[in-house]
Amino acid sequence: MVRHPRPDYLGRKDANVTQNSDPEVAQMIWQAGVDAVSGDASVSLALSALSTRPPDQIIAVGKAASAMTQAAIRHFRYSGPALVVTKYGHGSGLPAPARVIEAAHPVPDENSLLAGRALVRAVRDMKPDGHLLVLVSGGASSLAELPREGLTLKDLADENNRMLAAGLDIHAMNAHRKTLSQIKGGQLLGQFRGASVTVLAISDVQGDDLSVIGSGIGSAPDGAAYDFDAHIVASNSVARAAATDRARTLGLTVLDNAETLYGNVSDLAPTIGQHLRASRRGVHILGGEPTVVLPENPGQGGRNQALALMLAREISGTSGLTVLVAGTDGSDGPTNAAGAIINGTTWTQSAQRAIREADSGRWLDQRDAVLRTGPTGTNVMDLLVAVRT
């Protein structure tokens, strides 16, 4: 990571901030937001507040599935069956009785189909008096799938790649995914014949709609004959609130706290860039999930790295301004990066080609501007933290 001259934070509330550069301060604020919505912390808090009977079966699907399951096992002192479906590299830390299936994201693979079949069996096999605990987080749409009759895995992959390249937002993508599936949109829980279902969900969608999160894999069908109780336990607004609190403990003025990162990155960058260039001293905290339209043969990167590089162009030459853009799940598209940290010196004209070829990740990585965090145990879309000093 590029290091920058240390700003003058003297006289502010937290003296420790004087020991950190602007990129480090931005990352501290971003990390506070992520920590507040971790799967472990969110599920622990929710279960402590709810009167939920111990489950007879746990199923968890999404990038935060492992962390969410750990919290549930600890809370109930649970030793029963648990099926955890998550992204490759996200399945560690669970006790041996839990079955973990790791699969691909954002495009499903053979393990996604294995996970879909396993979820159906787990739901169907429950006893009439059984209580099912369902833990859902972002990424579930790709990680578990059972295609409708007549469709193959290649059909699913082609459709997902087409939607990703077209820059569709998550609502449009998940609405279409439901039409291809036998387990999305309430169909999985339509096969439940037990007594009750409790769903705890971490939202990675605008509006925190359970029918959209994971393409509705945790939704109940209309007219369900069992008790159904669902709760959103973490969201982008919770993360932004925690990031805001952290910035203020550092003695910084928070100028923005808004969920406005929606739309194509090429449209967002000029608007955000102009706003940041005109900013006074302080911190801007923005959330959401932008989209990006890809060329036929895209390079390396994701929407956050693309937005970061376009913002670098917009703020080029602006002093005292650092911008971090990253996915709260620790991954940005099909890369091992969460996003990037840029400032007014990042941009050079050679980046123009990287933008055109959707190769922002490679260009930024060569300049030590890529942010890598590893799996975070959550997924509440993206956070942008801009520090102006």
pLDDT at 34: 98
Give residue 264's identity as a one-letter amino acid code: N
- Give residue 216's region: left, alpha or beta (phi > 0; psi -120 to 50): left
Rounded Cα distance, 242 and 238, in Å:
6
Nearest to 254 by CA among 241, 235, 271, 237: 241
- DSSP-assigned letter for residue 377: S
Structure-block tokens of residue 316: 């080029």
One-letter amino acid at 230 equals: A
Of residues 299, 273, 379, 365, the one with CA closest to residue 331:
379
Q: What structural domains and CATH numbers belong to the chain? A: 15-36+237-388 (3.40.1480.10), 39-234 (3.40.50.10180)
CA distance 287 to 205: 11
CA 331 to chain centre: 8
pLDDT score, position 19: 56
The reported pLDDT for the residue numbered 9 is 29
> What pLDDT score does 220 carry?
96
**What does the pLDDT read at residue 1?**
29
pLDDT in tens, the chain (389 residues): 222 222 332 233 444 444 578 999 999 999 999 999 999 999 999 999 999 999 999 999 999 999 999 999 999 999 999 999 999 999 988 988 899 999 999 899 999 999 999 999 999 999 999 999 999 999 999 999 999 898 998 988 888 788 888 877 888 888 888 888 999 999 999 999 999 999 999 999 999 999 999 999 999 999 999 999 999 999 999 999 999 999 999 999 999 999 999 999 999 999 999 999 999 999 999 999 999 999 889 999 999 999 999 999 999 999 999 999 999 999 998 899 999 999 999 999 999 999 999 999 999 999 999 999 999 999 999 999 999 99
Q: What does the longest C-alpha to C-alpha distance in the chain come to?
A: 67
Whether the CB-CB separation of 99 and 61 falls below 8 Å is answered with no
Instruction: Enumerate the β-bridge partners of residue 61.
Output: 85, 136
Give the CA angle between residues 58, 60, 61 to the nearest 5°. Answer: 155
Read off φ and ψ for residue 141, nearest 5 degrees. -60, -40
